[in-house]
Amino acid sequence: MVRILLLDPFRGAAGDMITAALIDAGADSELVLQAMRSVVPGIEVTPVERAGIRALMVRTHAHPTKRSLDGVLARVRSADAPNEAQEMATRIFQRIHRGEEHVHGRCSHFHEVGADDAIADVVGAATAFLSLHPDRVHLLPVPVGGGEITGSHGTIPAPGPATLAIFLEAKVQVRFGSWTDGEICTPTGAAILAEFAAFGGGGEVSGQILATGYGAGSREVAGVPNVFRAVLLEGTPDAQTDTVDILETNVDDISGEVLGHTLARCMEEGARDASAIPCIMKKGRGGYLVRVITTPDMSRALSALLAMELGTLGVRAIPSVHRLVAERQVREVTVEIGGEKRRVRVKCGVLGGLTYSLKAEFEDAKAWAASLNMPVREVATRIEQAARSELVQGGQGG
């Protein structure tokens, strides 16, 4: 059996809401609070109600602090948390840092997210997540709010640019709200969800519910439950199915550059796959069959994108095609290269409880290759060899 963690950011997400929801869903509260209180003493977890829904609320009492990324990571490393949780928290803050640099250029320090309460939230969320031992994660589209935010950079539009940059990099689906929403998804919440979503999942979610958890936000909105929901399920490890649409069109007057750009745009906009297949068209002309696989809700938007980018007059839509989907897991393995040991992520394909496919997480391989001054393909190969030894030969195939 596999453990599936469904994350439902009903009213957006913040670090404290996510942590509280995971505790409520059965995470090891003693371990989580130990980790958080090593950063901020006196953290409290209390039951509250939000529009009639019972939830947990995490309260911290820390003062605003500006820190560089190195300063934040030093606080993470000093936390009384498991090594894997420290490593996950490090990756979360690196996501925030990249988001800030995407917006501002070189980012010398964090503002709000450098404070001890944000560090405690991230360390707590990582510790809670790992204590639940999920095999797969399914993240529902994230509401990001609307209107304006007042912060260290003055008044800016909501959602904040760094939040959008984090979701852009992670290819997380979002949902914009109204002017009255304000900020309902913080950069910290966005980075935590992006990191959790990297564990993979997708398609239909089915299984027996093991636990539910609700984490409360600090704001009380009349008639609206300001909560984050987590659902833990147990499902079978067999191959799953989901439903996709197949979009096709034939082109014979497009350059390779335009074709490559169009395929990249489709993937950026949420396509599951995009390809161009050489073919012979009428009158013996060489051309391409462009094929895009997408979820049904994205079919119309991606058809319009194909028409605009390629100038084609028609896109064939083959609806509701059922496909077999292997279980996808993201696991961490210990790898040693050049005398240095690291815990790195590997994407696994599983059928019938057996791991048949292993691929190194590219971002982990790229970062390590840069520090070792080695080709990324060589580092990826070494990671996959170690993973095969640990996960397959070691008997952890499913």
- Supply the DSSP symbol for 288: E
Q: Which domain holds residue 335?
A: 327-393
In a domain, 263, yes or no: yes
- Kindly state whether residues 331 and 320 are assigned to the same domain: no
Q: What is the mean pLDDT of residues 151-157?
A: 71
Q: What is the mean pLDDT of residues 144-154?
A: 76
- Kindly state whether residues 280 and 387 are assigned to the same domain: no
Per-residue confidence band for 151, with pLDDT thresholds at 50, 70 and 90 = low
In a domain, 360, yes or no: yes
Structure tokens at 42: 């006196």
| Amino acid of residue 153 | H
| Amino acid of residue 61 | H
- Kindly state whether residues 275 and 167 are assigned to the same domain: no
Per-residue confidence band for 395, with pLDDT thresholds at 50, 70 and 90 = very low
In a domain, 398, yes or no: no
Q: Which residues contact 260 (CB under 8 A, 6 or more apart)?
A: none
- Kindly state whether residues 176 and 311 are assigned to the same domain: no
Cα distances (Å, whole numbers) of residue 249 to 210, 271, 283: 45, 15, 17
* DSSP percent split of the chain into helix, strand, coil, nearest 5: 40, 35, 25
CATH assignment at residue 318: 3.30.70.1380
CATH assignment at residue 343: 3.10.20.300
Structure tokens at 36: 């958080």
- Kindly state whether residues 294 and 337 are assigned to the same domain: no
How many domains, in total, are found in the chain? 3
Tell which of 235, 267, 286 closes a domain.
Answer: 235
- Residue 302 reports pLDDT greater than 90: yes
- Kindly state whether residues 310 and 332 are assigned to the same domain: no
Cα distances (Å, whole numbers) of residue 323 to 214, 240, 327: 33, 8, 13
Helix (H/G/I), strand (E/B), else coil: 235: strand
Q: What is the largest CA-CA distance in the chain?
A: 77
- CB-side neighbour CA atoms (13 Å) of 137: 24
Residue appearing with tokens 């984490």: 215
- Kindly state whether residues 126 and 153 are assigned to the same domain: yes
Q: What pLDDT, on the 0 to 100 scale, is given for residue 91?
A: 92
- Kindly state whether residues 303 and 335 are assigned to the same domain: no
Chain segment 24-49, per-residue pLDDT in tens: 999 999 999 999 999 999 899 999 99
- Kindly state whether residues 17 and 138 are assigned to the same domain: yes
Please state, in angstroms and rounded to a whole number, the distance separating the CA atoms of residues 50 and 283: 67
In a domain, 192, yes or no: yes
- Kindly state whether residues 263 and 226 are assigned to the same domain: no
Tell which of 273, 301, 324 closes a domain.
Answer: 324
Cα distances (Å, whole numbers) of residue 181 to 14, 52, 111, 219, 220: 14, 20, 22, 11, 12
* Total residues found in the chain within this entry: 398
Are 75 and 67 within 8 A, CB to CB?
yes
Structure tokens at 214: 């609700």
In a domain, 361, yes or no: yes
Q: Which of 4-18, 77-91, 101-115, 266-280 has the lowest mean pLDDT?
A: 101-115
Q: What is the mean pLDDT of residues 270-281?
A: 92
Structure tokens at 184: 């309902």
Per-residue confidence band for 356, with pLDDT thresholds at 50, 70 and 90 = confident
Q: What pLDDT, on the 0 to 100 scale, is given for residue 115?
A: 82
| Amino acid of residue 391 | L
- Kindly state whether residues 31 and 128 are assigned to the same domain: yes
- Kindly state whether residues 64 and 200 are assigned to the same domain: yes
Tell which of 290, 324, 358 closes a domain.
Answer: 324
Q: What is the mean pLDDT of residues 278-290?
A: 90
